[in-house]
């Protein structure tokens, strides 16, 4: 029996994540220093853990409302108002999901008709393209330019729009480039999005990690707010990747329909995690701020380090990644990462894992201690000596 043939063709044709592929390789070696993983090295603040443990001790171990605990939705709503001046009604506009990941999938499945086009900005987070394809959509790529600091311009947007364009996925601060869009950067795009009725799926999971400018959401523009599906979560800012908790906010109609998919497929996000997140939003901003301060120190340190050893690196204004240019080595990004791993036991992610526009770059995470970063820079410095 050929089991392959029993499977869905679209699924069979999906490429495995370029990050995973590379890390399976890295994991076969001993003593590897990895700057590859996109998750905080910090432990979840203890008060959040205690609140979750207490909820279990208090026998709060049942399903919650499908949309999530009302208390959590109220806290999310207050938080978005307090931090980003966004107004979302906890009863009508907020849905608690299993990570930002579920929110991305739900949004796409709720809006796409077979053949609709969804604009993706490359280099981009590895999950977007498969999520669009699995929802029946067609990904249309815009290749962002490093000389524009990987921001989206009005000209690039206009050139990508066709009569089939249904939505665009934005992700600022960006994984993998660390690029951000300021209010000024967004301004020219807003009338275009409005005129063409393009749904904006805005993945703002790194919003707290904005180091220079105040974070701006496309939902901050009243003209298009109801076209925006804002996605965020607790994984990055609250160091809660393993808790699997995120949320989406949007207009009442979108939310009602998206909720149906969540209701049938998931029921509700994990209950203990929801209690932990309530504590996170109520009483943990100081821990979030401390982590952000650390990321900022590491960012400055790693950007200086990479430039010093001959790998040109922009100062990214958000997230916890740098995106150094490796073109001068004459290697492809995959060759660079494989050779670096082989010769110096340091793992980074090839830029090509994030789409063709990422070729010529590597993604380096600085969600690691300064000590680890220091050793890694030293080793990459030795590696680079053959190319100087």
Which residues contact ligand PMP (rule: CB under 6 A)? 38, 99-101, 125, 171, 175, 203, 205, 233, 235, 241, 246
Residue with smaller CB distance to ligand PMP, 77 or 235: 235
Residue with smaller CB distance to ligand PMP, 125 or 186: 125
Residue with smaller CB distance to ligand PMP, 172 or 383: 172
Residue with smaller CB distance to ligand PMP, 124 or 302: 124
| Number of Cβ within a 10 Å radius of residue 254 | 21
Q: How far is the CB of 125 from ligand PMP (least distance, A)?
A: 4
Q: How far is the CB of 104 from ligand PMP (least distance, A)?
A: 6
Residue with smaller CB distance to ligand PMP, 176 or 360: 176
What is the chain's length? 388
Query: What is the b/e burial string over 74-91, where b = at least 16 CB atoms within 10 angstroms of the residue's CB?
Result: bbbbebbeeebebebebe
Distance CA 41, CA 33 (A): 14
Instruction: Enter the tokens of residue 30.
Output: 């001993």
Nearest residue to ligand PMP, scored by beta-carbon proximity:
99
Q: How far is the CB of 246 from ligand PMP (least distance, A)?
A: 4
Q: How far is the CB of 88 from ligand PMP (least distance, A)?
A: 18
Distance CA 15, CA 130 (A): 8
Q: How far is the CB of 39 from ligand PMP (least distance, A)?
A: 7
Q: How far is the CB of 160 from ligand PMP (least distance, A)?
A: 20
Nearest to 40 by CA among 293, 237, 322, 301: 237
Residue with smaller CB distance to ligand PMP, 64 or 344: 64
Q: How far is the CB of 163 from ligand PMP (least distance, A)?
A: 29
278 and 51 Cβ atoms separated by less than 8 Å? yes
Angle, vertex CA 358, rays to CA 357 and CA 359, nearest 5: 95
Cis omega before residue 9 (within 30°)? Answer: no
Residue with smaller CB distance to ligand PMP, 367 or 384: 367
Q: What is the dihedral of CA 243, 319, 171, 152, to 10 degrees?
A: 180
Distance CA 130, CA 110 (A): 16
Collapsing DSSP to helix, strand or coil, 379 comes out as: helix
310 and 317 Cβ atoms separated by less than 8 Å? no
247 and 86 Cβ atoms separated by less than 8 Å? no
């Amino acid at each position: 029996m050929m089991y392959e043939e029993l499977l869905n063709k679209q699924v069979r044709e999906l490429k495995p994540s370029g990050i995973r592929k590379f890390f399976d390789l890295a994991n076969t070696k001993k003593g590897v220093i990895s700057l590859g993983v996109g998750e905080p090295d910090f432990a979840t603040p203890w008060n959040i853990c205690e609140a979750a443990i207490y909820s279990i001790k208090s026998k709060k171990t049942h399903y919650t409302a499908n949309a999530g605990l009302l208390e959590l939705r109220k806290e999310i709503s207050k938080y978005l108002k307090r931090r980003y001046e966004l107004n979302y009604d906890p009863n009508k506009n907020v849905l608690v999901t299993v990570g930002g990941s579920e929110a991305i999938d739900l949004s796409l499945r709720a809006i796409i008709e077979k053949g609709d086009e969804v604009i993706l900005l490359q280099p981009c987070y590895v999950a977007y393209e498969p999520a669009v394809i699995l929802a029946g959509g067609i990904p249309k790529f815009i290749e962002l330019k490093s000389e524009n600091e990987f921001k989206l311009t009005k000209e690039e947007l206009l050139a990508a729009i066709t009569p089939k364009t249904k939505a665009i996925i934005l992700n600022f601060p960006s994984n993998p480039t660390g690029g951000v869009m300021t209010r000024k950067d967004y301004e020219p795009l807003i009338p275009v999005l409005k005129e063409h009725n393009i749904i904006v799926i805005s993945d703002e999971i790194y919003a707290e990690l904005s180091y220079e400018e105040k974070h701006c959401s496309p939902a901050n523009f009243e003209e298009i707010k109801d076209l925006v599906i804002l996605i965020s979560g607790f994984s990055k800012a609250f160091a809660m990747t393993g808790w699997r908790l995120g949320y989406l906010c949007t207009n009442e109609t979108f939310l009602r329909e998206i909720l149906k998919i969540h209701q049938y497929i998931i029921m509700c996000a994990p209950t203990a995690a929801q209690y932990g997140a309530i504590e996170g939003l109520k009483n943990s901003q100081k821990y979030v701020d401390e982590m952000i301060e650390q990321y900022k120190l590491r960012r400055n340190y790693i950007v200086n380090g990479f430039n010093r050893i001959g790998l040109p690196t922009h100062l990214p204004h958000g997230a916890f990644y740098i995106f150094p240019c490796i073109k001068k080595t004459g290697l492809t990004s995959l060759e660079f990462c494989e050779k670096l791993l082989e010769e110096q036991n340091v793992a980074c992610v090839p830029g090509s894992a994030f789409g063709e526009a990422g070729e010529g770059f590597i993604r380096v995470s600085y969600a690691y201690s300064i000590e680890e970063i220091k050793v890694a820079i030293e080793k990459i410095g030795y590696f680079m000596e053959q190319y100087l």
